[in-house]
Amino acid sequence: MESIVERFLRYVSYDTQSSEDSDTFPSTLKQKALGELLARELQAMGAEDAHMDEWGYVYATIPGNAPKAPTIGFIAHMDTATELSGAYVKPRLLQYEGGDIVLSAEKGIVMREEEFPCLRNEVGKVLIVTDGTTLLGADDKAGVAEIMEMAQHFLTHPEIPHGTIRIAFTPDEEVGGGPEHFDVPGFHADFAYTVDGGEVGSLNYENFNAASAVVTVHGKAIHPGSSKGKMINACLVAMEFDRLLPAGELPSLTEGYEGFHHLTDMQGSVETATLHYILRDHDAEKLEQKKAGFVRAAAFLNEVYGADTLELKLRDGYRNMRQKIEEDLRVVELAKAAMRDLKIEPRVEPIRGGTDGCRLSFMGLPCPNLCAGGHNAHGKYEYISVQSLLGCARVLIRIAEKAAE
């Protein structure tokens, strides 16, 4: 039987980078090449109904032999991040004995233990690293390989009791499109897990509530020599607006459950200025307070400079899946119990972002996020250990077994 490592290396050899600047779905057609491969491999393993649909989603079923067990879905995304190329990935396996890792001697690219303390937990393991010029794509091809390993396990061991298992591989997660055309009714699972998290044992079912704001300031440009009492400099008003926001609530000053507002872009002249913000908080009520703070700041400056000087547009984005997951915590308890059976201590952590699963949870498919095992995603220092690949695959297998007990 093929090893999970060979599988993983084959998947990362496909360039599946998604794109923010695209009108097509999936955002890049090359993602479908991996989708076709995965559908073929699932068919060859004997999975039922393995296919890729018109949008590039791959679905398959492993029929259950324990009729009372729930139908569980496992989901991973095929695309890689937009920050760094995922083409011509040249992974290297190394037996790690501690210290710095030279990714490219020629280019002087080194992963330093001091900068990446997570390396201290990897001594004695076999690591898969990049050559320092691309990302690795463990986010989320590790999740893909682990789900394929789980599928192969149950298809070659029909004697092991388990319920129906549904598999989905999605495109465009990295550009927020993963759930866009996901066929939740067709998937027909009682619940699911995205396999897109961090180190073995990590488990997430809380993510941010998200909103965005666009502030447009309409100034009054007048010759500076004769502008006394008349000019309104839109840039300066925009800066005043930002100063009225809570100074400590920035991404660079917050962690854990602390929310933030984040100025992502600003443009301006004397005549007009525009500020783009994102607002994030795990607590929906606190996010509302942040939005109210934006409304107050805009109203105050409109009083000072005249009505309609500032225009504020607030938009709600994704929501914290916690409220959906908490309706029935069995999906979390099952994952925790499966990990403990494997002597892995589950670590429940809030995500400071969103996942495919948060939208899917609100689309009717409760969907927490499970460990996929990778580190330093979205960059050239991305790596995963062979032990983590195997460990995460075992977690998936154990979840399916446990649900049938």
Question: CA 65 to CA 162: how far, in whole Å?
Answer: 6
Cβ proximity to Zn ion, 41 vs 139, nearer residue = 139
- State the Cα angle at 326 between 322 and 330, rounded to 5°: 125
Give strand ranges (E) for 288-341: 310-316
The distance of closest approach from Cβ of residue 140 to Zn ion in the complex, given in angstroms and rounded to an integer, is 4
**Interface with Zn ion includes 196 (CB under 5 A)?**
yes
Tell whether residue 146 is a contact of Zn ion (CB under 5 A): no
Rounded to a whole number of angstroms, the distance between the first and last alpha carbons of the chain is 27
Indicate if 174 belongs to the active site: no
* Residue closer to Zn ion (CB basis): 122 or 196: 196
For Zn ion (CB under 5 A), the number of binding residues is 3
Q: Report if residue 382 touches Zn ion, rule: CB under 5 A.
A: no
Using the minimum distance from each CB to Zn ion, give the nearer residue, 201 or 354: 354
Distance (Å) of CA 112 to CA 99, 145, 309: 7, 28, 50
- Contact stretch for Zn ion (CB under 5 A) within 125-133, 193-201, 207-215, 242-250: 193-201
Residues 6+ apart with CB under 8 A from 361: 321, 324, 325, 367
**Residue 199 interacts with Zn ion (CB under 5 A): yes or no:** no
Min. distance of Cβ 136 from Zn ion in angstroms?
12
CA 379/CA 85 separation, integer angstroms: 9
Looking at beta carbons only, is 139 or 149 nearer to Zn ion? 139
Verify binding: residue 172, Zn ion, rule CB under 5 A. no
Least spacing, CB of residue 183 vs Zn ion, in Å: 20
- Annotation marks residue 303 as catalytic: no
Distance of CA 217 to the CA centre of its chain: 34
Please give the Cα distance from 39 to 175 (Å, whole number). 23
Active-site residue identified among 15, 146, 173, 174? 173
Place of tokens 């005549």: 271
Residue 230 sits at the vertex; the CA angle it makes with 226 and 235, to the nearest 5 degrees, is 100
With b for 16 or more beta-carbon neighbours within 10 A and e for fewer, the 354-378 pattern comes to bbbbbbbbbeebbbbbbbbbbbbbe
CB of 377 to Zn ion, least distance (A): 7
Instruction: Find the binder of Zn ion among 15, 41, 79, 139 (CB under 5 A).
Output: 139
CB of 79 to Zn ion, least distance (A): 9
Tell me which residue has tokens 């396990």: 153
In residues, how long is the chain?
405
Decide: is 356 part of the binding site for Zn ion (CB under 5 A): no
If the CB atoms of residues 140 and 401 are measured against Zn ion, the closer one turns out to be: 140
Q: Which amino acid is at 7?
A: R
Stretch that binds Zn ion, among 87-95, 140-148, 330-338, 345-353 (CB under 5 A): 140-148
Stretch that binds Zn ion, among 39-47, 134-142, 209-217, 312-320 (CB under 5 A): 134-142
Contact between residue 304 and residue 254 where contact means Cβ atoms under 8 Å apart = no
**Residue with smaller CB distance to Zn ion, 190 or 196:** 196
CB of residue 285 to Zn ion, shortest distance in Å: 28
Closer to Zn ion by CB, 139 or 401: give it.
Answer: 139
Q: Name the residue type at position 127.
A: L
The verdict on 140 binding Zn ion (CB under 5 A) reads yes
Q: Is 41 in the site for Zn ion (CB under 5 A)?
A: no
Other Cβ atoms closer than 10 A to 289:
12
Residue 117, amino acid: P
Query: Rounded to the nearest whole angstrom, what is the least distance from the CB of residue 179 to Zn ion in the complex?
Result: 13
> Token digits for 368?
């927490």
- Residues engaged in binding Zn ion (CB under 5 A): 139-140, 196
Catalytic residues: 79, 173
